[in-house]
Structure 1
Amino acid sequence: MRIVFSELMEKLGVGYDLSPYETCPWLVYDSEKGITCSAEVRAGPDLSDIEAELQFLYDEGVVPSEDEDEEEEEGDGEEEQKEDPNAWRDSLEEIEKRERQKALKPQKTKGFIPEGPRQIFFLRIIPTNDGRWMPVMMFLKGEDFVNKINNWEGKACDFFRSCIEAMLMDELPDIEELIEKELDDERWGGRGKRGKIGKKSPKIKPAALLGMKP
């Protein structure tokens, strides 16, 4: 996909041409879910590139759904270990050693995310020699999505714009629904053939909020 700058801005939901170093931000807070969604399109120096990014920030005490799944998996593993028929063979010394190691392991407070917001989506677009613009990098929930589906460049823009449209209605974007709607790949025979995308979104340090490349 190679398009002119004004068309790119329209596809990303900006609606006007950004200047060097300029940023177009959006912000929505869902008090019921305890999630803040922040998004922005930002222009690099001398318009060397354009980046589009969307992040989720969770209130203290709110556990992202992917973290809940992870905790359940860890819990299942612990249950299996407790039911190990050979557990009685462990010596007292080995049991005490495991307990000491467990006590030294840092405990994560449920719902607390010290690393900051979760990056949901990242797209980087650069200018070409003919004066047009071309996406070169895409991450969705931590997964590199370049060339993973047909027309990934156009679908990436459509996905981001759909997120912005939801935010303009003061709604939290339904990421999974929009993945199915905008990033479906007919090569795999329709919905759900692609497999689960990005089980866990990468955590981002607070200082990098809306300003960090993957």
Structure 2
Amino acid sequence: MLELPIALTYALAILGGYLFGSIPFGLVITRAAGLGDIRSIGSGNIGATNVLRTGRKDLALATLLLDAGKAGIAAAIFSLVFNFHSGLLAGAAAFVGHCYPVWLKFKGGKGVATFIGMLFGIMWQVGIAFAISWLSIAVAFRYSSLAALVTAALLPVFTWWLIGDIFAVCVTAALSILLFYRHRENIKRLIAGTEEKIGQKKKSAE
């Protein structure tokens, strides 16, 4: 592992992770496919869910994998080159970069795929726990947002149970709070009973 002053290591991890996470793959892919600006349709988000609204499942899948991969790769590289905590910070910064990309005036996605990618990139055990929890809740209640929110709330517990590192617990807790904030509109719709379920088709106007 490369030995640098800890403050410099952390600064490089945060900066590198943030810039990598800021790459708006959803926007790049849809523009390259000739579909225009993804921000002008649906929710205006740059993530895979909104890309799916174009009707191109292949582009949505590519966006999902790339959004997850950018955080996972950032976390893995910094963990291997420096140390576990640096990798964790790089992955966390990539998540923040996806939510608030500098290239798009800090208007990005909600970050669920990027969050999961970060976990698998550096704490695969926690990533598996996250995936199992998300899938279980999504299948039971058919709300993608609810599955993400409940799992995010449980994530610090999973991290402590499986990793036992207080720094990692603090980082995952902070990111879970940010994920809740990014889903604030979904929370309002869940409370009001107007949130769309997985697979639900929008009613056509009469």
Query: Which of structures 1 and 2 has the larger relative contact order (alpha carbons within 8 angstroms, sep 6+)?
Result: 1
TM-score range, shorter chain: under 0.3
Higher helix share: 2
Instruction: From the two aligned structures, give the one with the greater strand fraction.
Output: 1
TM-score (normalizing by structure 1): 0.24
- Give the TM-score of the pair, scaled to structure 2: 0.25
